[in-house]
């Protein structure tokens, strides 16, 4: 009899533990609910980011400003570029500014004025990889965090060198059914920007 009583106590304890486990697991799953739509949105955003990074080093790149919403902001360290014209100015290439485009807006208070881009050296190969994408979709807006790594090969046959690694923090908005960057901020180190919200 004593053995049967012990078995009932253990079974009861396991049932209680199982109920707690189901309760906490259910709550965690509810927070991260995935639907077909959010998965498609996440993939579309990842495709946008990937196409953006493939644009670097191309002979005839797409216009970088086409990846952004009209009122977008690009932050490269302490330099801030606003609107599509400012973004074209940041890259100094990539389709150039549209004919008759107004000059870029003045830098925001506390930031450095935009310096013209330095001439790029002729290289055999320049590639940028992205990794560890964390994309969170909330209806018609989204955020992303990724790690990017730049690789250069100066001449054919030279070893490939990793030249830069950093993080991109992006916010996105749906424009006419297409995802576009609203903000894109590049920073080094492990800490996100002070005003970053996932």
Q: Torsions phi, psi of 167, nearest 5?
A: -125, 145
Q: Report how many domains make up the chain.
A: 1
- Where does the chain have alpha helices with state H? 2-31, 36-54, 83-91
Q: Is residue 13 part of a domain?
A: no
CA 121 to centroid of chain Cα atoms: 27
Distance CA 86, CA 107 (A): 10
Task: Look over the chain and give the mean of its residue pLDDT values, rounded to a whole number.
Answer: 78
Write the pLDDT tens digit of every residue in 125-141: 889 999 999 999 999 99
Q: How far apart are CA 50 and CA 53, in angstroms?
A: 5
63 falls within a domain: yes
Burial 126-142 (b: 16+ CB within 10 A, else e): bebebeebebbbeeeeb
CA distance 84 to 90: 10
Asked if the model's pLDDT at residue 98 lies above 50, the reply is no
Q: How far apart are CA 198 and CA 145, in angstroms?
A: 9
Q: Is residue 69 part of a domain?
A: yes
Q: Does residue 15 sit within a domain? A: no
Residue 83 belongs to some domain of the structure: yes
159 versus 188: which is more confidently predicted? 159
pLDDT of 5 over the 70 cut: no
Cβ–Cβ under 8 Å, residues 185 and 194: no
193: in domain = no
- The CATH number given to whatever domain includes residue 100 is 3.10.450.50
What digits encode the pLDDT tens for the residues 22-34?
A: 444 444 334 447 8
Residue in 140, 146, 121, 142 with CA at minimum distance from that of residue 53: 146
Within a domain: 55? yes
Task: For residue 109, name the pLDDT band (cuts at 50, 70, 90).
Answer: very low
Helix, strand, coil shares of the chain, percent, nearest 5, are: 30, 35, 35
Contact present, 146 and 171 (Cβ < 8 Å): no
Which range is most confident: 7-11, 29-33, 121-125?
121-125
pLDDT given for residue 195 in this prediction: 81
DSSP β-ladder status, 178-187 and 68-76: parallel
Q: Which residues contact 91 (CB under 8 A, 6 or more apart)?
A: 64, 117
How much is the pTM?
0.70
In a domain, 102, yes or no: yes
For 60, the domain range is 35-187
């Amino acid at each position: 009899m004593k053995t049967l009583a012990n078995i009932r106590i253990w079974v009861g304890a396991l049932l209680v533990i199982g109920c707690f486990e189901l309760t906490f697991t259910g709550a965690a799953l509810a927070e991260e609910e995935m639907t077909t739509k959010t998965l498609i949105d996440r993939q579309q955003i990842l495709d946008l980011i990937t196409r953006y990074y493939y644009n670097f080093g191309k002979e005839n790149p797409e216009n970088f400003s086409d990846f952004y919403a009209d009122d977008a902001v690009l932050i490269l360290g302490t330099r801030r570029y606003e609107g599509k014209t400012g973004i074209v100015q940041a890259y100094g290439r990539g389709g150039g500014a549209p004919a008759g485009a107004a000059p870029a807006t003045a830098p925001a208070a506390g930031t450095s004025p935009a310096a013209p881009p330095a001439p790029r050296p002729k290289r055999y190969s320049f590639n940028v990889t992205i990794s560890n994408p964390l994309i969170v979709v909330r209806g018609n807006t989204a955020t992303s965090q990724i790690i990017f790594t730049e690789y250069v090969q100066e001449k054919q046959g030279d070893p490939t060198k990793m030249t830069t690694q950093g993080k991109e923090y992006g916010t996105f908005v749906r424009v006419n059914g297409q995802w576009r960057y609203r903000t894109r901020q590049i920073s080094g180190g492990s800490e996100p920007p002070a005003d970053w919200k996932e």
